Structure 1
């Protein structure tokens, strides 16, 4: 059918691939993460959320997921935030990361 995707990307270009006993099956090796850095970054992410710091959130997302970014088709489009009435959401208190 026209427009149908015939190829699926199974691996990201930054992943290290390892051969297996089957010539057409590859194993992707995950990236290693420094747990102290991850803990610090997640705490910074929590603080940025609490402060509604959109620029800081984007910076932190990019640090956590280097391949994260806007889709070219969405580039330049304005994003709209939708306010939420916390009483209607059923949340009694703000969530925190531990």
Structure 2
């Protein structure tokens, strides 16, 4: 994602170099499923401790290893990109509502 803004005549551009790492955020919601999968595969009740162990031990260790993120957007960059109107060919308009063919 690239954020571009003009502030006081100066163009500010910022690009998130770690945007591809955002998918890692999907790991935490998968923890309960992985605990259940470990339990089914191993038939051990210790598998249910995988979630708390991962959240309270593994994630903090990774956080300590990675350290602070020095690539935050500049303070003058907007918090989100400005809205852009996109019109596509065949898009519904008020005069031609979208109808489903059921």
Q: Same fold (TM over 0.5)?
A: no
Higher relative contact order (CA 8 A, sep 6+): 2
TM bin, normalised by shorter chain, reads under 0.3
Query: Which structure's CA Rg is the greater one?
Result: 2
- Larger helix proportion of the pair: 2
